[in-house]
A and B are shown apart, each in its own frame.
Chain A
Amino acid sequence: MPEARVIPLREGDVPVRTAEPFVPGDYDDTDAPEWEKRLAGALAFVRRRITGDYPIDEFGFDPDLNDHVFMTAVRPLYEKWFRVEARGLENVPDTGGALIVANHSGTLPLDAIGVSLPLLDQHPAHRHLRMLGADLVFRLPVVAPLARKAGHTLACNADAERLLSSGELVGVWPEGFKGVGKPFSERYKLQRFGRGGFVSAALKTGVPIIPVSIVGAEEIYPMIGNMKTLARLLGLPYVPVTPTFPLLGPLGAVPLPSKWLIEFGEPIHTEHYGAAAADDPMLVFNLTDQVREVIQQTLYRLLMQRRSVFF
């Protein structure tokens, strides 16, 4: 993964849409040593943050912050701890809209970032994944602005279609809380795939659906119980009991170092159906089942190939 070691904090990594650089002079980096370039990049980044000089898109996506801070912060967890191995990235187009549909698991939705990281680091076009999240995400303090700044938005058809038609790569986890909060005993069994809203968004915008299967995320926090009363009190969908949580307190937040395999499957094309097909419920259900079936079969195949949970 040579692309994974992107030099962080480098101007030009980010498509700067409002070009207003207050750079006092051009940095001549032809013969400057690496550390100087990094220092110059870091200083420029700090200056941009202090003066508010960075572009935000209409959804609140802050690519400058996402690429240089968020992704840099989580990269070691996925590269060193989970040792994510991404396959089939060639199935993701270099340009234009596409809908990434994946299975959801792991008690905490860490698998979502696991999918977006290889797309940014290893995909030749270094694509950003714009995920659709539950409204709970946008209700929680601290979490809500982080999600927006990382480029994610509310799971609703209006937002999905707006992103897809402007050529973005959109990620959905149709199982939602049913998938991420399912007991350990049901691992790798796909839950119901929502109401197929994601399929109608893809049909309406004519973009391909790319089924993605994630193996490994199920084992990071094995959920053996659910404190339902506490969950109801806190207004959360579930409060997990894992072998380490709440027994070890904050240490319970350390995920188990499972080995992850992420396979990007062959795209399911939708443009030949036409936009009107989005209003055909039978087609929507059939396509939803097809996507679900592809992911389920791929999960079984990957599980057969896997030598052990941790290696």
Chain B
Amino acid sequence: MRPRRVLVTGVSRFLGGRLAAHLAADPDIEAVVGVDTVEPRADLGRTQVVRADIRSPNIAKIIANAEVDTVVHLSVVATPLMVGGRTAMKEINVIGTMQLLAACQKSPSVRKLVLKSTTAVYGSSPKDPALFTEDDEPRNLPRSGYAKDSVEVEGYVRGFGRRRPDVALTMLRFTNFVGPSIDTPLTRYFSLPVVPKVFGFDPRIQFCHEDDAVEVLRLATLEDKAGIYNVGGSGVLLLSQAIRRAGRVSFPVLEPLVSFAGQGFRRAGVVDFSPEQLRFLEHGRVADTTRLREKFGYVPRYTSLQAFDDFVRARGLNRVLNPEVAGAVEAAVLERLTPRRRIHA
């Protein structure tokens, strides 16, 4: 089914704005309705932006009036820093989703629902398999923060799917976003001048480039791609390796002190580390994206490494110690020590 009238929640944030702008540029789509509590800063073309809170029943009126056939739910937020506290975050994520789903269930026009979820639903523990597939259950159910909200949101969406079997559901479990423009707890973390890490741990991290994320969301909206998919670049980086590629210095914090350090960063408003994210910094998480490639039919343009390098380049992070400088130093040292050496430029 080609969508004609699309509703995008969370349109004032990065992914929502980019997706709405893409959809608005598509002549086959009659109307794009964007919902958010704040006015978007980016130019969204002919998107009709409605300032509304999805926690309120108004959302049902918006869906009914616009005769929406496809709902793209992107307003599950990852960090309380942007919305003013954990309570507000939980309400936006869980109550907001419940209101939105209640409205969708009442609407006869809705035919498709696309949910932006996260691989954080798999949790992070030493008992995890090296790669999570979409059918894996978490060994330790996430107990707090974004991950817990996402588990609950997925549960509500599944429940909605049972009550409205005629609506096609696509759940996209994204790995950590990274890229030139997107702002996430992890991009802030890697932008810190000294990057704290948990002593004695070096997690594997998988990245999803922002362009790939927008493209996957666009395909899921336009085409019939029902199902659950892990979305991320192939390959992984170790945290230590990522810090080095970003030209940063790491600062190991002993495990018992980690939660104190996390609180300090939260109070300073720099980066929010929930206990789930701290566990992630110990054990990491990697998702198997075979289903995305084979069934969904999308091969991400960026590997994890390329996505991270693009982020580092665009933000100008490794200005002091970058590969060119390191290569030049290496050549100079070798030149000095071995006079007979020949270099072919």
Contact = CB atoms under 8 A, between A and B. Distances in A.
Interface residues of B, number: 50
Interface of B: 126-131, 133, 136, 198-202, 204, 235-238, 240-245, 255, 283-284, 286, 303, 305, 321-324, 326-331, 333-334, 337-338, 340-345
Contacts of A50: 244, 321, 326
Nearest to B247: A51
A43 interface: yes
The 7 closest A-B pairs by CB, nearest first: A141-B200, A52-B244, A25-B343, A145-B202, A52-B245, A138-B126, A158-B129
A154 B255 contact: no
Contacts, number: 131
Contacts of B327: 22-24, 47
Contacts of B200: 140-145
Contacts of A58: 130-131, 204, 235-236, 286
Contacts of B333: 43
A38 to B, nearest CB: 11
Interface string A143-160: 111001100011010110
A53 interface: yes
A218 B99 CA distance: 64
A56 B126 contact: no
B331 A25 contact: yes
Interface in A154-204: 154, 156, 158-159, 162
Interface of A: 18, 22-28, 32, 36, 39-40, 43-44, 46-47, 49-54, 56-60, 62, 135, 138-145, 148-149, 153-154, 156, 158-159, 162
Contacts of B243: 52
Contact of B131 (A23, A36, A162): A162
Given A52-B240, A142-B200, 4 more contacts: A25-B344, A52-B243, A54-B241, A153-B130
A137 B323 CA distance: 34
Given A43-B334, A144-B201, A153-B130, A56 B345 contact: no
Nearest to A18: B305
A39 B236 contact: no
Nearest to B323: A22
Nearest to B133: A158
Given A23-B327, A24-B343, A32-B341, A56 B201 contact: no
B129 A52 contact: no
A62 B255 contact: no
Nearest to B239: A145
B120 to A, nearest CB: 18
A139 B126 CA distance: 5
A291 B1 CA distance: 55
Contact of A52 (B130, B242, B324, B331): B242
